[in-house]
Structure 1
């Protein structure tokens, strides 16, 4: 049975594209049926439209609170018969409305080896800390910030001459490879 996925993203959409491409090329029994984005001008929106994937733009400032915005998102997820949610560069903390609507079925991709360097600046924080190794983590989302159960990790070496940009390239390459592998495994194991 094909799993119906929603991807939440806020930025350029490279992970969105990599996921969509891997699903097709590797014949993962899944389909991205909805992109949820919180910025109308984000490049990921154009990428989704080019791939003919429906898009829901949610301007959180247009709602009285997070619960109201997430209630709309949850309604759309249910209407699209979404089985699981994959965060891919989504720069908002998921609230209780979505967590209760999709318990243990929301995944996040984080650009560091959690529990080290949680939050929105994982790459910058790892570089600033002077570590010799960082990486990427796929984890279940809970009510905390990057505190959910870790599913998989992949290490990425930090080179002496790395900049944020050069390290980010290798981090993104690891993300693009690891996320589809984890998705396939979770589907195969009946977790999703």
Structure 2
């Protein structure tokens, strides 16, 4: 039997999506192994989450590098050193350069708390509330050189309530993030994603993006 696919997770903060993926793997729902968790923030709780599950955890300080490209080259070295084939961004507050993208083509995923292409970038929930939309949600996508512009893998919709705040909307969206991000990872691991141009086709008819 083939070895589980090795995943590297890049995080900068709490790492709740990291935890959702760890839980799904440990429950047997994804045949993969998180080989390392790397953060640019020494205080990121994601490091503690990794340690609790026996996952190698590394703080790599971006301030020690002269450029984003040099930092990404160090990331590539660490990821390859752990045999990583899929890179997951889990609240990683860094702009990704071609150095990292070219090392893992169509093998870097991110989750964004909005229904892309609407409201990319920071403060997506605030943007949604200010615009007055009735539906928001989250998007798992492959990462490219743009800001939240890569091919979309999965999305989940969340109703925006009249009395929502950024915090209440973010909380409901986060529950959907924890559901669809692990599912997108499973599909990648099982070779059930086909990318042609901007379109990602799912070749697994058991998938549903509904709650």
Q: What residue in structure 1 maps to residue 49 of structure 2?
A: 47
In 2, the alpha carbon distance for the partners of 1:149 and 1:33 equals 25
**Residue 63 of structure 1 corresponds to which residue in structure 2?**
65
Q: Which residue pairs with 2:206 in the alignment? A: none
Match of 1:155 in 2: 157
Contact 1:132 1:159 in 2 (8 A): yes
Contact 2:29 2:186 in 1 (8 A): no
- Whether the 8 Å CA contact 2:8–2:88 is kept in 1: the answer is yes
Question: Would you say 1:38 and 2:40 are equivalent positions?
Answer: yes
Contact 2:154/2:184 (<8 A) preserved: yes
Q: What TM-score, normalized to structure 2?
A: 0.87
1:134 match: secondary structure? strand
Unaligned runs of 5+ residues in structure 1 are none
Residues 98-141 of structure 1: per-residue CA shift (max 9 Å, x gap): 00100110001000000000002111211121111000000000
- For residues 19-34 of structure 1, the aligned pairs below 5 Å read 19-34=21-36
The 4+ residue runs of structure 1 with deviation greater than 4 A are: none
> TM-score, normalised on structure 1?
0.96
Q: Describe the shift of the 1:9–1:151 C-alpha distance in structure 2 as closer, same or farther (beyond 3 A).
A: same
Structure 2: segments with no counterpart, 5+ residues? 195-211
Conservation of the 8 A alpha-carbon contact between 1:107 and 1:141:
yes
Contact residue 11 and residue 91 of structure 2 kept, 8 A: yes
Q: Classify the secondary structure of the residue corresponding to 1:52.
A: coil
Whole-Å Cα distance in 1 between the matches of residues 127 and 170 of structure 2? 12
Residue of structure 1 in register with 2:180 after alignment = 178
1:86 aligns with 2:88: yes
Asked if the contact 2:20/2:178 (under 8 Å) is kept, the reply is: yes
Give the equivalent residue in structure 2 for 1:119. Answer: 121
CA distances 1:114-173 after superposition (whole Å, capped 9, x unpaired): 000000211121112111100000000000000000111110110111111111111110
